[in-house]
Structure 1
Amino acid sequence: MKKEKVESLEQAREQIDAIDHAIIELIATRQFYVDQAVRFKHSVQDVQSPERVESVISKIRLLATEQGVNEDIVERLYRDMIHHFIQRELKEIRP
């Protein structure tokens, strides 16, 4: 997404609203693929996979740094999102 200087608070808010829409759409797409991935997992350990979680966190912290975004905020957001997705997956594999 291209960053452009705005000339008013209204323009800034319009851009923020558009970004929020895109973020939600991306989270929904991520959830879709998490739902697909659960088909290939056979145990609670497969779902929880702490090493995978830490790998994702390391990657997103690096991406945040590259973009000049606070890594701690991004990590908290991702940990919350991952926790939610893990809980969602656990419901699928538990009897």
Structure 2
Amino acid sequence: MTDDLADVRFAIDAVDAQVVRLLADRERLVRRAAAFKTDEQGVRAPARVEAVIGKVRALAAGAGASPDVVERVYRAMIGAFVELELAEHHDSLKRNQ
């Protein structure tokens, strides 16, 4: 099998489409979880973040991925979802005033 850069990029694009679908699934779940959280500390949940990071580092190692890269990606993703949740909580508080 001969790969060239175009083939590799095509495969990357296919993986990206899967990742985006999975991120959409994760966002829906994050939004559902947000309904159970009553304050900013509940949203930020530093202990939960560290538990998730430990879990995905182990998963990365088992999958042959760099645990450091996976951790950085997850920290960025979790940070973005925390911002989303905080914005929703803020909007919810404004609506309920």
Q: Same fold (TM over 0.5)?
A: yes
| Correspondence for 2:3 | 8
| Correspondence for 1:30 | 26
| Correspondence for 2:84 | 88
Unaligned runs of 5+ in 2: none
- 1:49 deviates by 0.5
- Structure with the larger RCO, 1 or 2 (CA within 8 Å, 6+ apart): 1
TM-score (norm 1): 0.87
Secondary structure of the structure 2 residue equivalent to 1:59: helix
* Structure 2 Cα separation of the partners of residues 13 and 61 of structure 1: 26
Percent identity over the alignment? 41
Unaligned runs of 5+ in 1: 1-5
* Structure 2 Cα separation of the partners of residues 81 and 13 of structure 1: 23
* Structure 2 Cα separation of the partners of residues 67 and 48 of structure 1: 28
- 1:30 deviates by 0.6
Deviant stretches of 4+, over 4 Å: none
| Correspondence for 1:3 | none
1:64 aligns with 2:36: no
TM-score (norm 2): 0.85
* Structure 2 Cα separation of the partners of residues 15 and 7 of structure 1: 13
Secondary structure of the structure 2 residue equivalent to 1:40: coil
1:18 aligns with 2:14: yes
1:55 aligns with 2:51: yes
